[in-house]
């Protein structure tokens, strides 16, 4: 974590960050329409032709029906089944390590109260990844771990509720899409992130 003004490129993205902070103060969310929101809202329709047969090439990206269909480099736990209303698929993520497998995965699911969500896990030790995080954005909402949460969207286009959290081994991303905005939905997504983190 470092102060935002010390981040490389701050002179380029500083005005965008100021606009985002102003939006959050005025509306409670960042006013911006994101394609990912529509993709998650309509995931069942969007993804129905995206599933692939990977038996011939485990390195191929694309949606699978089960984690068992992905050659993982570690034991991916994902979202516990008791938190999922309906599993919508899973895809390899991050990078494929020759001789080991994938260093991450993204799980898609429906949650009874929140809607359609994605959970992405990046094994930082395998991917050799790291994150530079502006300390102004950091909370400790997910079980005391470095956490960033926000809502991005526009009325009539939907909202993406995002919770990212970090520990020594993993970078976790939970994103859920709803057509409407409510601060209570963000609290529900944070509560879900806590439950996922406890797995």
The tens-digit pLDDT sequence of the chain (199 residues) is 655 655 566 666 778 888 999 999 999 999 999 999 999 999 877 666 665 555 555 556 667 778 888 899 999 999 999 999 999 999 999 889 999 999 999 999 999 999 999 999 999 999 987 777 777 788 999 999 999 999 999 999 999 999 999 998 999 999 999 999 999 999 999 999 999 999 7
CB proximity list for 64: less than 8 A, separation 6 or greater = 51, 52, 54, 70, 89, 90, 91, 92
What pLDDT is stored for residue 76 in this prediction?
Answer: 94
The two three-digit tokens of residue 197, written as one number: 């983190």
What pLDDT is stored for residue 122 in this prediction?
Answer: 95
For residue 55, tell me if it sits in a domain: no
Distances from the Cα of 55 to the Cα of 59, 69, 165, angstroms: 10, 8, 33
For residue 188, tell me if it sits in a domain: yes
What pLDDT is stored for residue 128 in this prediction?
Answer: 85
For residue 85, give its domain range.
4-48+61-197
Distances from the Cα of 125 to the Cα of 122, 130, 153, angstroms: 9, 9, 33
What pLDDT is stored for residue 121 in this prediction?
Answer: 95
Residues 94, 102 contacting (CB under 8 angstroms):
yes
For residue 129, tell me if it sits in a domain: yes
What pLDDT is stored for residue 117 in this prediction?
Answer: 98
The two three-digit tokens of residue 199, written as one number: 């797995």
Domain count, the chain: 1
For residue 66, tell me if it sits in a domain: yes
What pLDDT is stored for residue 193 in this prediction?
Answer: 98
For residue 101, tell me if it sits in a domain: yes
- How far apart are the C-alpha atoms of 108 and 21, rounded to whole Å? 29
- How far apart are the C-alpha atoms of 150 and 15, rounded to whole Å? 18
- By CB atoms closer than 10 A (0-12, 13-18, 19+), residue 119 is buried
The model carries a pTM of 0.88
For residue 54, tell me if it sits in a domain: no
Report the greatest alpha carbon distance in the chain: 52
């Amino acid at each position: 974590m470092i102060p935002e003004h010390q981040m490389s490129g701050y002179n380029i993205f500083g005005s965008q960050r100021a606009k985002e902070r102003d939006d959050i103060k005025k509306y409670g969310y960042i006013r911006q329409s994101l394609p990912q929101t529509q993709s998650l809202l309509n995931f069942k329709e969007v993804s129905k032709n995206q599933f692939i047969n990977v038996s011939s090439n485990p390195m191929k990206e694309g949606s699978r029906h089960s984690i068992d269909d992905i050659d993982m480099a570690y034991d991916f736990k994902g979202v516990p089944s008791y938190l999922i209303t309906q599993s919508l698929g899973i895809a390899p993520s991050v990078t494929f390590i020759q001789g080991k497998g994938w260093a991450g995965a993204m799980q898609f699911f429906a949650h009874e109260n929140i809607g359609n969500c994605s959970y992405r896990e990046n094994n930082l030790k395998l991917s050799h990844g790291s994150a530079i995080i502006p300390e102004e954005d950091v909370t400790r909402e997910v079980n005391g771990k470095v956490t960033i949460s926000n809502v991005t969207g526009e009325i009539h286009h939907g909202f993406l509720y995002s919770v990212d959290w970090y520990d020594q081994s993993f970078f976790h991303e939970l994103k859920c899409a709803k057509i409407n905005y409510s601060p209570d939905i963000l609290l529900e997504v944070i509560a879900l992130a806590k439950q996922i983190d406890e797995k």
